[in-house]
Structure 1
Amino acid sequence: MSSKIRTVSTIGIMGFGAFGRLMARHLQPHFALRICDPANEPMADANGKGLQPATAAEVASCELVILAVPVPAISEVIATLRPHLKAGAVVLDVGSVKIGPARVMEENLAEDVEIIGTHPLFGPQSARNGLAGLKIALCPIRGGSTPRIAAFLRHVLKLKVVVTSADAHDREVAMVQGLTHLIAKILVRMEPLPRTMTTASFDLLMQATEMVRYDAPNVFMAIERANPHAKAVRDRFFALAEEMRLFLENGHQQAASPEPALPHKVAEVAEA
């Protein structure tokens, strides 16, 4: 199989923060890249082979355009790119939430522009040893390019590809990322934490915390505030935590038991 997505020779990346740089490093061997950063991040990596600083118009002229900007900036970036996009171009974002960005792209990009919502389920920390085996979600919104892009991601970058809808993505990620980042934020606030006399399970918890500790603040806010399903997960988590606090302080007579209710136990026995 070719190492390139068919018909794509140049990829434009709008945004050159930590994740934009990560993508550029792995795409550079396969495509000529044009990079524009609205936040004016240093372009120290932009002199390598196939990596070229560009204007927004030059990025928009590429066959495939990646929006590697914070979720709140997507509307403004789309307005900048829209006049310069070619018919048949593919535009995709890489944000942690999909419903909102998908709606913005669909409402503001021309009908002849294809749209895919994507979420690489990893960051610079978890990808420091390579991409092979890591996961990425693809949410087809408009056009038919998802299968060939998925094939490139699977066969060339060795990623595990999950094709899903924007709503299904946000429902799962509200728990998967929402709880991870929420617990990590709370643990960091509890520092100093033990580092010597620890258990294997505690070490794994600390490892998970370190993987998201240095994420940009806008990532956490997007996960918790831009995802319409995150509040329900967060509220349930805090409610169950409060039940557990009351149980530990007062005993099961005064608080809801952390154990499943008896009817559930009976049902489990009947199924067995």
Structure 2
Amino acid sequence: MLSLVTLRPSTSPKLSPSPPPLAASLSSHSHTLLSLSSSRRRHRRRFRGGTLIVRNIDAAQPYDYESKIAAINNSYSKLKIGIIGFGNYGQFLAKTMVAQGHTVLAHSRSDYSRSASKLGVSFFSDPHDLCESHPDVILLCTSILSTEPVLKSLPLQRLKRSTLFVDVLSVKEFPRSLFLQILPPDFDILCTHPMFGPESGKHGWGGLPFVYDKVRIGNCESRIKRCDDFLDVFRREGCRVEEMTCAEHDRHAAGSQFITHFVGRVLEKLDLENTPINTRGYESLLNLVDNTSKDSFELFYGLFLYNKNAMEQLERLDLAFELVKQQLFGHLHGLLRQQLFGCTEMVDRVAKKKEIKLISDVSQNAASQNGSASTAPQSSANSERN
């Protein structure tokens, strides 16, 4: 006989059979389509009546903004640029050079390896290692006062014989003579002055002045092109590029840059403050103080010490200051005499001079008339004798 077993309901949870892989994929796909459809409906409701513009960033399509910039950068030759002195100004220039696709190396006395890494720059704590990388260009971004010792400390023998040396100092005759004195004759020399900095150029370099002097560039076509490729760094950013001799630059800079820094530092000593009734002229003075005070005294002193025209401009400024003071005090003196004596001494002097001049003119006319009258009888007497 067969034993009958009592069937009882199971107490274990019922597990629904898992769907086959294809069904799961279809279910997930339909869920994704539903979510995308609802998202599109939401976007339609949100942008109803307007135009939704999508800029493709990652794909290199003809309408891709990044691909256009990359195409422009690829049309220019790439340089390997070694920056000596990687402070604020060196980093400021390196940022643009890296963005243009150039390979940038850097060396400085201080450790800027972290800052260099963020900018995509290879930092070398030892100048020998940088020079052994054979950069096409050595760009000196040191201070004016430290340029000579830094240049003398570089292992020039580890560089290529035709390396291009460039400076960006605010004075030009000093680095020119220094380069010609220290560098081997095979090295090319380009003296430049980007007349802007991290503050004035933070929103772009368009329209900002850039001065250069090709002191010594070899006749080889490749060396001429290398120099032009470096100048293209600034042309591409829209700088107002102008070729000028170092002597001419220093002559102009003494009357503009040095005087600007001097006046800004003088005004800084006055502790000028904002007022509720600032005029535009006063705002300009405050901006001048703000701009010049951000530069180091070392830069200001270098502008004075290494530009032979600076002393002449300082003397002219001192003379102009005294002339304006004399003009003010002269008018004040005349006003006080008018209040004390009822008339100005200047008016009395002018009236006296007019009287003397009138008497002198009358006497001269009388003398000339007497002379002509005395010669007339003599001429008639001579005619009678004849």
Q: Is the pair's TM-score, using the shorter chain for normalization, greater than 0.5?
A: yes
1:17 matches 2:87: yes
Corresponding residue number in structure 1 for 2:171 = 97
- Does the CA contact (< 8 Å) of 2:204 and 2:237 recur in 1? no
Q: 1:190 aligns with which of 270, 276, 279?
A: 270
1:62 matches 2:135: yes
Mapped to 2, the partners of 1:192 and 1:175 lie a distance apart of: 24
- Does the CA contact (< 8 Å) of 2:205 and 2:237 recur in 1? yes
The RMSD of aligned alpha carbons is 2.3
Mapped to 2, the partners of 1:221 and 1:19 lie a distance apart of: 18
Q: 2:230 aligns with which of 135, 143, 149?
A: 149
Q: 1:44 aligns with which of 102, 105, 114?
A: 114
Mapped to 2, the partners of 1:200 and 1:49 lie a distance apart of: 38
1:163 matches 2:240: no
Question: Deviations 1:174-221 (Å, cap 9, x if unpaired)?
Answer: 011011100100111000434331111111222222122111221111
Q: 1:237 aligns with which of 309, 314, 317?
A: 317
- In structure 2, do the counterparts of structure 1 residues 4 and 225 end up closer, same or farther at CA, with 3 Å as the change threshold? farther
1:35 matches 2:115: no
1:114 matches 2:114: no
Mapped to 1, the partners of 2:206 and 2:153 lie a distance apart of: 34
Question: AA paired with 2:265?
Answer: K
Displacement of 1:247 in angstroms is: 1.2
- In structure 2, do the counterparts of structure 1 residues 122 and 89 end up closer, same or farther at CA, with 3 Å as the change threshold? same
Normalised TM-score (structure 1): 0.85
**Which runs of 5 or more residues in structure 2 are unaligned?**
1-70, 219-223, 335-386
Mapped to 2, the partners of 1:174 and 1:41 lie a distance apart of: 34
Displacement of 1:77 in angstroms is: 1.6
Greater share of strand: 1
Mapped to 2, the partners of 1:49 and 1:26 lie a distance apart of: 10
Q: 1:208 aligns with which of 288, 302, 314?
A: 288
**Structure with bigger RCO (C-alpha 8 Å, 6+ apart):** 1
Question: Deviations 1:223-250 (Å, cap 9, x if unpaired)?
Answer: 1221111111111011111111111112
Corresponding residue number in structure 2 for 1:261 = none
- Does the CA contact (< 8 Å) of 2:95 and 2:119 recur in 1? no
- In structure 2, do the counterparts of structure 1 residues 107 and 5 end up closer, same or farther at CA, with 3 Å as the change threshold? farther
Displacement of 1:7 in angstroms is: 6.4
Question: Deviations 1:34-57 (Å, cap 9, x if unpaired)?
Answer: 11012x154331113631111312
- Does the CA contact (< 8 Å) of 1:10 and 1:33 recur in 2? yes
1:173 matches 2:173: no
- Does the CA contact (< 8 Å) of 1:136 and 1:159 recur in 2? yes
Question: AA paired with 1:10?
Answer: K
Corresponding residue number in structure 2 for 1:87 = 161
Q: Describe the SS at the equivalent of 1:71.
A: coil
Corresponding residue number in structure 2 for 1:220 = 300
Corresponding residue number in structure 2 for 1:78 = 151
Mapped to 1, the partners of 2:274 and 2:193 lie a distance apart of: 34
The count of corresponding residues between Structure 1 and Structure 2 is 252
**Which runs of 5 or more residues in structure 1 are unaligned?**
255-272
Normalised TM-score (structure 2): 0.61
